[in-house]
Amino acid sequence: MENTNLTNTEEQQTQKPVKLVPIIIAIFMGNFLSLLNSNTINIALPVLQKEFASDLSVVQWALTGFMLALGTFAPTAGYFGERFSYKRLYMFALLGMTVASVLCALSWNAPMLIAFRIIQGAFCGIIVPASMTMIFQTIPRHQQSAAMSIWIAASIVAPAIGPSFAGWLIQHGSWKWLFWTNVPLGLLAIVFAFFFIPYYRLKVPKGFDLWGLLTVIAASSLLLITLSQGAGWGWGSVSTLICLGSGLLALALFLWRELSIESPLLQLKVFLNRRFTSTLLLLCIVMINFFSGMLLVPVFLQNVQGHSPLDTGIILLPSTLAMAIMSLIVGRLYKVVGPKPLLFVGVLLMIAGNLPLAWLQIDSSSAYTLLWMTIRSIGLALVLMPATTAGMEEISREYIGHASSIQNWLRNVFVSFGVALFTTLLSSRTADHAARLTNEDAGPQLAHLSTTMGINDLNLLTTLIVVLALPFVFAIPSKRKKERAMDGALSDPVR
């Protein structure tokens, strides 16, 4: 049944009985597929290079273009979710992702594959915020922490198993199967969404903010291109500076536009909620650390110790499973102790697990790497779900879509920034160590030793970055303002 008006209090609405398990399965599948597609193509790039007789600089746009579209279209989910309902938007995005996957599998040259991957990324960029929004709109309050634990588990497992899964598919089949596997799973997710996710819509936007859409797409595209290509162009080059300046100008125009009109594309008033803003900044810091580990540790295992991509995935799989299992446990702990104790312990465990990874040696055992990665992963699990839930549950259901779009948008920007920064620093630090070791006659181990030292430098840096998350933990208010909210306050996104 369609319900376009808010007639009861939010607490009353969230107590309505729903079929929780089918809803969570439908939401889990879409989120999992979206994030899996972000991390499977990496392993296939050398294969695609040979398949299409193209340079690596060309085929890598199958990854870069996808990530650009993923970050660029996330901010649009708020408006379109309100306009058509998040259920319909989610199903449309799943269908678009599935069709784009078919087109990717049928591609016969690199430009065609890149174009369809960009389209696929645009739809995946909508799936993630839409799926998060539906958790807070359709699932009862007392079950939201459990649902978010499963949503976070999908966010963890998909990037972690992506490379191993891709390596197995390519080894036993073809790169095309990276896309064909999306088809039955995507269609199944659509069926689950159609039958089990309730229709929910509070209001229809009064108008479409076209200029907001154009400026946010321009800002996101230009800034993400700067971050992804700055290292290759040179951070001080004219191309980088023009792209960065244009992106910042577009961002300023977008912010001015959103703050000056009645029906903005994104409701920036959510930033007035201190709990939402503090947890969002905390998440951005943590996500930089999360993806830096996904970059640095595989480089060490493959380029220094000579493990294959499949072996690397197998070595790191236990830490990923520990993280996913802990995410499910955290959902129960959250109800008992609240977010702050979990966040504090989680950040400390991330620091404790990350610091020993700054002391890697060429012959460090896989057990050593796995041990500290597991401790770090458990810390991440203690942070991701509580930080996401604590901020989002403060926002009224009317503005949950805007908050979700903003959160996923900024997380994508920060992750892109982190990956670009660490990729550049790894190259420069490795070169610096190689130059110094050459003078010291390091012998045949020069390349491996310099790479290990560069990785250690960056792991130390990421440890220091995680320390910066501690002040945001203490800045989170202990009690939810929602507990004191009355019916008349429900339209206020900052309550």
Per mean pLDDT, which range of 92-101, 306-315, 337-346 is the poorest?
306-315
Compute the C-alpha angle 101/107/113, nearest 5°.
70
Q: 75-89, 190-204, 422-436: which range is least confident on average?
A: 190-204
Q: How far apart are CA 115 and CA 36, in angstroms?
A: 19
Tell whether the model's pLDDT for residue 374 goes beyond 70.
yes
In whole angstroms, how far apart are CA 37 and each of 29, 97, 135, 176, 345? 12, 10, 22, 13, 32
Better pLDDT: 237 or 480: 237
Name the more confident of 492 and 64: 64
Q: What pLDDT band is residue 444 in, cutting at 50, 70 and 90?
A: low
Contact 411, 287 (CB under 8 A): yes
Tell me the average pLDDT of the chain: 79
How much is the pLDDT for 7?
Answer: 37
pLDDT confidence bin for 489, thresholds 50/70/90: very low
What is the pLDDT at residue 481?
Answer: 54
**What pLDDT, on the 0 to 100 scale, is given for residue 6?**
40
Of 127-136, 209-218, 412-421, least confident by mean pLDDT is 412-421
pLDDT in tens, 119-160: 998 898 888 888 888 887 777 777 777 777 777 777 777 776
Length of the chain: 495
Question: Is pLDDT above 80 for 313?
Answer: no
pLDDT value of position 201? 57
For the segment 324-343, the average pLDDT, to the nearest whole number, is: 84
pLDDT(17) > 60: no
Confidence of residue 485 (pLDDT cuts 50, 70, 90): very low
- Lowest mean pLDDT, pick from 85-99, 169-183, 377-391, 411-425: 411-425
Residue 483: predicted pLDDT: 46
Judged against a pLDDT cut of 90, whether residue 94 lies above it is answered with: yes
> Using alpha carbons only, how large is the chain's radius of gyration in Å?
22
Number of other residues whose CB lies within 10 A of the CB of residue 51: 18
The residue type at 358: A
Residue 384: name the closest of 428, 346, 435, 329 by CA.
346
- pLDDT, residue 2, reads 38
